[in-house]
Amino acid sequence: MDRTELLGLSLQETEEVVNGLGLPRFRARQVYHWLYKHQVHSFYQMGNLPKELRYFLDQKASITVPRVVKSRVSQDGTRKFLLELSDRKRIETVAIPQTRTGGTKYTICVSSQVGCPVGCTFCATGQSGFERDLTAGEITGQVVAVERELKQREKSVSGSRLLANVVFMGMGEPLLNLDEVLKAISIINDEQGIGIGQRHITISTAGFIPGIKALAETGLQVTLAVSLHATTNEVRDRIIPMNRRYRLEGLLDSISYYIEKTGRRVTFEYLLLEGVNSSVSDAYRLSRMVKPLLANVNLIPYNPTEGSQYRRPEQDTITRFMACLAGEGVNVTVREEMGADIKAACGQLKAATNRRSKQEIRSLKSK
């Protein structure tokens, strides 16, 4: 008989499974705590379960946390993890440190898909194609695997929580995999689970309008970030192919709807590409779009990726763009570059090992 996978189940679902095995419910809570509070993923390490019970659970259930294949650390402390899933597909997850009084806390940047079907022309993930959606277990599994690694490295703070935020800004378009993303969020948010507040969870979207509306309906208080990146349909069509179907006007309407429903401030991400979207007129058009929505703008200077046709603007252009927005009263920040030296910055993820294996397959075929 197949063992039941527990990773990705809510506490209630875990209780149902455990109860179905003829065990009392409190055993489910113990297992759930071991998994999400202590990142233990073998029943044999669950100290407060009787030995026979550990054996029994191991026969009936499984906990499949993605395997860390490789990790790299950047000069600024950002860590990129290459994780392998049970079907051997590979994804990347990034941990970005923020040092505060009381120690370092991390923002975990998770992937929601293997590759991405949106195919933005500036994005390494988008250019590498789409393989499949991740399950809720594979999404929460990234947080569990990475927290475990971080704890092992930072022994000094092993008692306290290391994670401050979870952002869906890794590989994939989270709103195209909303059901699994929502299930994962409920575990990430659950006090009994990973325990990160909704406001510390960010979903970033390239503008999938039906997904924005569906997210608004959930009533969740997560943060929505919208990758706007252009102020005209003409430019947006060129860089985010999804814009041909989901136009700017409709996108702005869906964002208004989201704000009205949730009462939350939205963040607009705006990638700065030299000669494409970074002029003074772009800055003024952008400010006219965002001002009525009281939204924040986060400027992201382009992180060049291999073989890309795009360039990052000069610092002067970035400063001028920012000053125009600020002068119009827009709340604007420039995203700090984190992990660029190890290709862990926004849009640089593409699980290079996957690509290598494809090349290997090609070369094998040609022999």
Q: Which residues are catalytic?
A: 92, 346
Q: Please tell me whether residue 269 adopts helix, strand or coil conformation.
A: strand
Of 59, 86, 75, nearest to 4 (Cα)? 59
- Name residues contacting ligand SF4, limited to 187-216 (CB under 6 A): 206
- Name residues contacting ligand SF4, limited to 113-142 (CB under 6 A): 116, 118-120, 123, 125-126
Minimum Å gap between C-beta 260 and ligand SF4 is 25
Q: Which stretch binds ligand SAH (CB under 6 A): 59-67, 127-135, 181-189, 341-349?
A: 341-349
The partner in contact with residue 300, picked from ligand SF4, ligand SAH, none with C-beta cut-offs of 5 to 8 angstroms by kind, is ligand SAH
Minimum Å gap between C-beta 229 and ligand SF4 is 9
43 belongs to the binding site for ligand SAH (CB under 6 A): no
The partner in contact with residue 119, picked from ligand SAH, ligand SF4, none with C-beta cut-offs of 5 to 8 angstroms by kind, is ligand SF4
Distance CA 349, CA 115 (A): 9
Question: In the set 206, 290, 324, 338, which binds ligand SAH (CB under 6 A)?
Answer: 206
The 8 Å CB, 24+ separation contacts for 218-222 are 218/182, 219/261, 219/262, 220/182, 220/185, 220/262, 221/262, 221/264, 222/185, 222/198
What is the pattern of x (binds ligand SAH, CB under 6 A) and - over residues 224-263?
---x------------------------------------
204 belongs to the binding site for ligand SAH (CB under 6 A): yes
Residue 261 CB coordination number (10 Å) = 14
The partner in contact with residue 137, picked from ligand SAH, ligand SF4, none with C-beta cut-offs of 5 to 8 angstroms by kind, is none
Which residue lies nearer to ligand SF4 by CB, 193 or 347?
347
Question: In the set 114, 347, 350, 354, which binds ligand SAH (CB under 6 A)?
Answer: 347
Query: In angstroms, how far apart are the furthest CA atoms of the chain?
Result: 70
What six digits make up the tokens of 354?
């996957």
φ and ψ at residue 292, rounded to 5 degrees = -65, -20
The partner in contact with residue 344, picked from ligand SAH, ligand SF4, none with C-beta cut-offs of 5 to 8 angstroms by kind, is none
Instruction: Indicate the residue whose CB is closest to ligand SF4.
Output: 126
119 belongs to the binding site for ligand SAH (CB under 6 A): no
176 belongs to the binding site for ligand SAH (CB under 6 A): no
Q: Which stretch binds ligand SAH (CB under 6 A): 7-15, 18-26, 280-288, 346-354?
A: 346-354
**Packed helices 248-262 and 209-218: angle between N→C axes, nearest 10 degrees:** 0
φ and ψ at residue 132, rounded to 5 degrees = -165, 170
110 belongs to the binding site for ligand SAH (CB under 6 A): no
DSSP labels, 70-115: EEEE-TTS-EEEEEE-TTS-EEEEEEEEEEETTEEEEEEE--SEEE
Q: Say if CB 223 and CB 165 are below 8 A apart.
A: no
**How many residues of this chain bind ligand SF4 (CB under 6 A)?**
11
Question: In the set 8, 66, 141, 172, which binds ligand SF4 (CB under 6 A)?
Answer: 172
What six digits make up the tokens of 39?
């990142």
Instruction: Indicate the residue whose CB is closest to ligand SAH.
Output: 347
**Identity of the amino acid at 193:** G
Which residue lies nearer to ligand SF4 by CB, 36 or 122?
122
Which residue lies nearer to ligand SAH by CB, 53 or 293?
293
The partner in contact with residue 303, picked from ligand SAH, ligand SF4, none with C-beta cut-offs of 5 to 8 angstroms by kind, is ligand SAH
Q: Say if CB 111 and CB 349 are below 8 A apart.
A: yes
Question: In the set 128, 205, 223, 262, which binds ligand SAH (CB under 6 A)?
Answer: 205
305 belongs to the binding site for ligand SAH (CB under 6 A): yes
Task: Give me the half-sphere count of Cα atoms (radius 13 Å) on the Cβ side of residue 343.
Answer: 15
Of 315, 337, 204, nearest to 266 (Cα)? 204
